[in-house]
Amino acid sequence: MTSTTDTAPAAPAARRDRTHYLYIAVIVAVLLGVAVGFAAPDFAKELKPIGTGFVNLIKMMISPIIFCTIVLGVGSVRRAAKVGKVGGLAIGYFLAMSFVALAIGLVVGNIIHPGDGMHLTEAVKGVGHEQAQGASESTQDFLLGIIPTTLVSAFTEGQVLQTLLVALLVGFALQAMGGKGEPVLRGVEHIQRLVFRVLAMIMWAAPVGAFGAMAAVVGETGMDAVKALATIMLGFYVTCVLFVFVVLGTLLRLATGVGLPALLKYLGREFLLILSTSSSESALPRLIAKMEHLGVARPVVGITVPTGYSFNLDGTMIYLTMASLFIADAMDQPLSIGGQITLLLFMMVASKGAAGVTGAGLATLAGALQSHKPALVDGVGLIVGIDRFMSEARALTNFAGNAVATLLIGTWTGEVDKERVRRVLAGELPFDERTLLDDASGDGAPKHLPEQREGGEKELATA
């Protein structure tokens, strides 16, 4: 009798992960961009459209990825109340962490007084008002801006919150349709595969985009601005590191038992991408894919990550705090503790919905100062020269905060496969860089959608 071993088909040879070389190329491109920026600053400035073009390519994919992820997550869970519970818990956590970030920024800012000894010029004064013109005028405008002009305009205009609203409406509508919505869900699932495949193709342009972005910023700023404003930069970087490793790291360890260094290592390529583009949005699609691969249920990832990109801006909170104190000190108009708290609470509201791209934090700062304390707007120009460098730390901190938040929300709602988390972080279940999806990997990855459809009461049923 023939043994099963003889008749069993041979296992297909594993394809080599060539994306490893891609991210080595990104590092080389960043270093080369810095060198070109110093050696030929005028030429380097002309390379800025290359970096901008790559970020725009990534941003092009964000709306369809968020739409597919949320529709699949919400549409496949039978009880809408469970989705609302995840969303409510996420928003509550985001607000709490915003207050923590503001408090840390206040403490450090009042200790180091970074703006002492600075002086304004007439050229600098004009910059603040120019930035303020591009910022949101009021909370009312922000809330009305969440509603798209048409059902499809959210995709064409690239507004994350508008896409989130449309996706939630479609997801809940599919819930109400029951079995009749199955074909639509399967169609969206196929579209998601297509979108992630396109994203994987775009990622091969990352070295070119990183080179253009870094060369332009070094060519524009040089070292003079960096040296002159080293105090606030150093203080801001140290504050972000303390927040991530002390606050987020401790919370993650206590709530989930997962060590922060292991999670950051797992997301290393995403941090490198953010560092080279200065945009946390460039890593948003990959964060969604990786957190699902890690073992967090699709509905939790689909709700927490997109919402966090608009409401969980820990790095931006720290930036707004320290930049406000810096400007007030630099203009010899120091704020009292009461004035600081009032201004920063106002900024916390104004910052919600700020994009994770370069310049958004600066515009939010200028707009909030214009609305709350116009006398300080003139000082915004003092930090324009180093805003690009600060925006990188902002984006890295925001990204780390959203990764931790997703794992925390999943743990608190009982929707995390803890054994899978352990295996993924130990390197036993590598992420498929070629497709960004687990469906055909055959490595034991959870296929969330079928499980949710067959046992919808089980999905999110324990929280």
pLDDT tens-digit profile of 43-55? 888 888 887 787 7
Question: What one-letter code names the amino acid at 55?
Answer: V
Least confident of 257-261, 268-272, 330-334: 330-334
Structure confidence at residue 359 (pLDDT): 52
Distance, CA of 412 to CA of 410 (rounded, Å):
6
Domains of the chain: 80-156+222-454 (1.10.3860.10)
If you average pLDDT over each of 344-348, 380-384, 398-402, which comes out highest? 398-402
Q: Of 249, 252, 245, 240, which is closest to residue 105 (Cα–Cα)?
A: 240
Question: What one-letter code names the amino acid at 35?
Answer: A
Structure confidence at residue 263 (pLDDT): 93
Distance, CA of 75 to CA of 343 (rounded, Å):
40
**pLDDT classification of 316: cutoffs 50, 70, 90:** confident
Which residues, other chains included, contact 66 with Cβ-Cβ below 8 Å and sequence gap of 6+? 160, 163, 164, 167, 284, 288, 306
Distance, CA of 298 to CA of 310 (rounded, Å):
19
Q: Rounded mean pLDDT of 131-158?
A: 67
pLDDT at 82 over 90: no
Other Cβ atoms closer than 10 A to 133: 11
Q: Rounded mean pLDDT of 283-294?
A: 88
178/304: higher pLDDT? 304
Residue at token pair 């079928």: 450
pLDDT at 236 over 70: yes
Distance, CA of 19 to CA of 36 (rounded, Å):
25
463/79: higher pLDDT? 79
**pLDDT classification of 454: cutoffs 50, 70, 90:** very low
pLDDT at 393 over 90: no
Other Cβ atoms closer than 10 A to 122: 8
pLDDT at 70 over 60: yes
In whole numbers, what is the pLDDT of the chain averaged over residues?
74
pLDDT at 264 over 50: yes
Q: Of 379, 257, 283, which is closest to residue 329 (Cα–Cα)?
A: 379
Structure confidence at residue 158 (pLDDT): 62
**pLDDT classification of 246: cutoffs 50, 70, 90:** very high
pLDDT at 354 over 60: no
pLDDT at 12 over 60: no
Structure confidence at residue 403 (pLDDT): 92
**pLDDT classification of 19: cutoffs 50, 70, 90:** low
88/444: higher pLDDT? 88
pLDDT at 435 over 70: no
pLDDT at 404 over 90: yes
Distance, CA of 125 to CA of 380 (rounded, Å):
8
Provide the residue count of the chain: 463
Percent of the chain past pLDDT 70, that is, above it, reads: 70
pLDDT at 100 over 50: yes
| Span 159-183, pLDDT tens digits | 667 877 888 888 888 878 877 888 8
Which residues, other chains included, contact 102 with Cβ-Cβ below 8 Å and sequence gap of 6+? 317, 318, 321, 344, 345, 348
Distance, CA of 440 to CA of 442 (rounded, Å):
6
Least confident of 119-123, 171-175, 229-233, 455-459: 455-459
Two tokens at 371?
């609305």
pLDDT at 205 over 90: no
Structure confidence at residue 440 (pLDDT): 39
Structure confidence at residue 385 (pLDDT): 56
Q: Rounded mean pLDDT of 142-170?
A: 77
239-257 exposure pattern, b = at least 16 Cβ within 10 A, e = fewer: bbeebbeebbbebbeeebe
**pLDDT classification of 146: cutoffs 50, 70, 90:** confident
**pLDDT classification of 117: cutoffs 50, 70, 90:** low
